[in-house]
Amino acid sequence: MTAPETSGTGHGTKWPRAGWWKAGLVVSLAFNLFVIGAVGARHYWWEHHHHHGPLGRPAFTQLLPHPFFFALADERRDELRTLMRTHRQDFFAGRMHMRLAARNVADALVAEPFDQARFDKALQDFAATGHTLMDTGMKVVSDVVAHLTPAEKKKLGDELMRATANHRPPGDDRN
């Protein structure tokens, strides 16, 4: 058996890049911990906050909460999703109008000199666009509820009651 050859630097040729291996292992460990943390955070958020919905989502999602849909059979859930998808273009256009209206508010705020009338008009346009988007959302809720069975309507009502149980105004003592 022979000893590994060495160069003049005193390092063996068998593992000339051992430092890179160690660095690679540390980077891999850090990446794995990041992924585990991200998955854990997503799971925690889903378990504790999913019924609120992220900002920017149509407010009608509060009336059609995720737990209600997850409790349905796959075929039934797909039927209702298909119904909801018929409104997808309306929502896409509405969100585009909301972004443009928000941009107009921002433009009015940074205009030199500031013009209160221009700002007020941009704000009114933003509100009107929001109302139009809400109206579209209410149409979706109405369409979905019209296609629910009586038992599904009761389940949806129960889920809404559960989701809003902790969000009652002070003095509301309903059970």
**129-145 pLDDT, tens digit each:** 988 888 888 888 899 99
Q: How far apart are CA 76 and CA 10, in angstroms?
A: 71
Residue 68: burial class (beta carbons within 10 Å; 0-12, 13-18, 19+) = buried
pLDDT, tens digit, 9 for 90 and up, residues 71-106? 888 899 889 888 888 888 888 888 899 899 999 999
What is the DSSP secondary structure assignment for residue 103, as one 8-state letter?
A: H
Distance CA 39, CA 47 (A): 12
pTM here is 0.55
CATH architecture assigned to 59-164: Up-down Bundle (1.20)
User: 3-class DSSP state for residue 166?
Assistant: coil
